């Protein structure tokens, strides 16, 4: 039976609930707003009052972090100053439904504000371009391959208002010349080229961004010139260890893609199939262009059809037998035959040289080209790194989960503008 209300008594007006008081679920009157426009009272159904950050330097920092987190769509995950879990363990947020609904996309299309050809010696002339804000944070983008070159989508990984981006085509590829040249084309030459370009454009220090082979070159450069690097973003880490080559070009990825592996081996004789990297070299160097083209098509198709969790058959067909496809296959095979001119395990072994350089490693869980174990080994050897494993992604930077993390990473590091342009060598010189 419903209990009758006592007459002659007025119901008390609800007051904000204090910590530990009963009745935490009571409905409260809308609290007054403070000067910033935020509600100053408690939340409905919450056992404690919510107060705005105090008007102190610490409170101002908290307000900035909250605004940055709301802007990036992730409260607290990538706010200013956050460096990931304090215990340094790998972490992932793909399971959070709020993140899958608001994944970041590339920035709008932009054009370079400066382009040019830079003679680095040995008969090589490199194409380079500068994009974004000439007064922004310096960053050097290192493309994959080796031998692939840059494309316009790479410019869009960075906020054009906050970054000054240097992109260039490495020796023998893209718009650099001579196309496909293997002369004086080694990892050590490319590390020297990065340093020459840095000085030429006037970057005192710069952030490095590289995926796949680009991560290899970024690590090699940073370990040779750590004082010139502010921070690093790496994706799909490749360090050139023998186990990494064997997984992809002998026994590993072939078990997941047996149909594509069979196509990859077709240009090779039965006797040569035990070591495909070595067996492809004479075909890619053959004086007959038709032989080179057939070998280049098979080489690039194997990579194109395993690079993503989603079928990219249009990408594979796009390689065709063009001069650029042949150059790509020749250069990549050239580096692989020589084990990248690195000692076994060198880049992981010397990760201690990166001490003091913060870095974010973005790695697809189902990356068949560069499996996560390499990123994990690097992360454990590099104390300043944060490993982010994307559960629904493979190797390609264009996969939604990978792209989301890369854009979040560049936005996050843009908040720490520690680079500079040397006053004696302006960017426009």
Q: In angstroms, rounded to a whole number, what is the distance separating the alpha carbons of residues 206 and 140?
A: 7
Q: Two tokens at 135?
A: 């007064």
User: How far out from the chain centre does Cα 125 lie?
Assistant: 27
pLDDT tens, position by position, 265-312: 999 999 999 999 999 999 999 999 999 999 999 999 999 999 998 765
Find out whether 122 and 110 touch, Cβ atoms under 8 Å.
no
Q: The whole model's pTM is what? A: 0.76
The model's confidence at residue 419, banded by pLDDT at 50, 70 and 90, is: low
335-369 per-position pLDDT tens digit? 999 999 999 999 999 999 999 999 999 999 999 99
For residue 233, give the H/E element and its range. Answer: strand 229-235
| Start-to-end Cα distance in the chain | 88
CATH placement of domain 114-240+345-415: 3.40.50.1820
Q: What residue ranges do the domains of the chain occupy?
A: 114-240+345-415, 248-340
Sign of CA dihedral 200, 204, 205, 207: negative
Contact present, 33 and 40 (Cβ < 8 Å): yes
d(CA 15, CA 30): 10
Residue 33: which residues within 8 A CB-CB, separation 6 or more? 39, 40
Instruction: Count Cβ atoms below 10 Å from residue 60 Cβ, excluding itself.
Output: 12
**Phi, psi angles (nearest 5°) of residue 426:** -70, 160
CA distance 158 to 145: 21
- Quick: pLDDT tens for 172-212: 999 999 999 999 999 999 999 999 999 999 999 999 999 99
pLDDT for residue 88 is more than 90: no
> What is the phi/psi pair of residue 162, to 5°?
-120, -10
Q: pLDDT tens digits, residue range 50-69?
A: 445 555 444 554 454 445 44
Helix ranges (DSSP H) in 127-181: 152-155
Active site residues: 212, 367, 395
Cα 178 from chain centroid? 29
Q: Is the pLDDT of residue 73 over 50?
A: no
pLDDT at position 169: 98
Q: Are 317 and 376 in contact (CB under 8 A)?
A: no
- Closest by CA position to 428, among listed 125, 21, 134, 6: 134
| Helix or strand run (H / E) with residue 205 | strand 203-211
Token code pair at residue 46? 């919450």
């Amino acid at each position: 039976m419903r209990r009758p209300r006592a007459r002659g008594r007025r119901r008390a007006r609800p007051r904000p609930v204090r910590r530990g008081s009963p009745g935490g679920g009571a409905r409260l009157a809308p609290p007054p707003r403070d000067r910033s426009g935020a509600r100053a009272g408690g939340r409905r159904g919450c056992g404690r009052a919510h107060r705005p950050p105090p008007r102190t330097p610490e409170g101002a920092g908290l307000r900035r972090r909250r605004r940055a987190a709301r802007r990036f769509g992730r409260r607290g995950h990538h706010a200013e100053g956050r460096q990931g879990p304090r215990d340094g363990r790998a972490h992932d947020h793909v399971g959070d439904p709020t993140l899958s609904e608001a994944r970041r996309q590339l920035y709008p299309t932009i054009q370079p504000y400066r382009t040019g050809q830079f003679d680095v010696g040995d008969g090589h002339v490199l194409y380079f371009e500068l994009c974004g804000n000439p007064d922004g944070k310096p960053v050097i983008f290192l493309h994959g391959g080796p031998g692939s070159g840059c494309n316009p989508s790479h410019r869009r990984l960075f906020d054009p208002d906050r970054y000054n981006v240097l992109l260039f085509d490495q020796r023998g590829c893209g718009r650099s010349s001579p196309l496909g040249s293997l002369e004086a084309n080694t990892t050590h030459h490319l590390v020297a080229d990065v340093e020459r370009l840095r000085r030429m454009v006037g970057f005192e220090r710069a952030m490095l961004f590289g995926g796949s082979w680009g991560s290899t070159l970024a690590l090699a450069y940073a370990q040779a010139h750590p004082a010139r690097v502010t921070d690093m973003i790496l994706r799909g880490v490749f360090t050139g260890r023998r186990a990494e080559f064997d997984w992809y070009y002998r026994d590993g990825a072939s078990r997941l893609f047996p149909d594509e592996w069979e196509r990859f081996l077709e240009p090779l004789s039965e006797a040569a199939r035990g070591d495909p990297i070595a067996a492809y070299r004479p075909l890619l160097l053959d004086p007959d262009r038709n032989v080179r083209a057939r070998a280049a098509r098979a080489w690039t198709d194997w990579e194109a059809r395993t690079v993503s969790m989603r079928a990219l058959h249009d990408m594979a067909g796009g390689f065709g037998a063009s001069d650029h496809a042949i150059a790509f296959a020749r250069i990549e095979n050239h580096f692989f035959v020589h084990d990248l001119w690195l000692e076994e395990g060198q880049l992981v072994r010397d990760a201690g040289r990166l001490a003091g350089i913060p870095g974010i490693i973005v790695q697809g869980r189902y990356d068949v080209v560069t499996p996560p174990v390499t990123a994990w080994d690097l992360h454990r050897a590099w104390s300043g790194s944060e490993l982010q494993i994307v559960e629904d992604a493979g190797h390609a930077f264009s996969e939604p989960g990978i792209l989301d993390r890369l854009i979040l990473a560049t936005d996050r590091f843009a908040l720490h503008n520690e680079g500079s342009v040397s006053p004696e060598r302006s960017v426009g010189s």
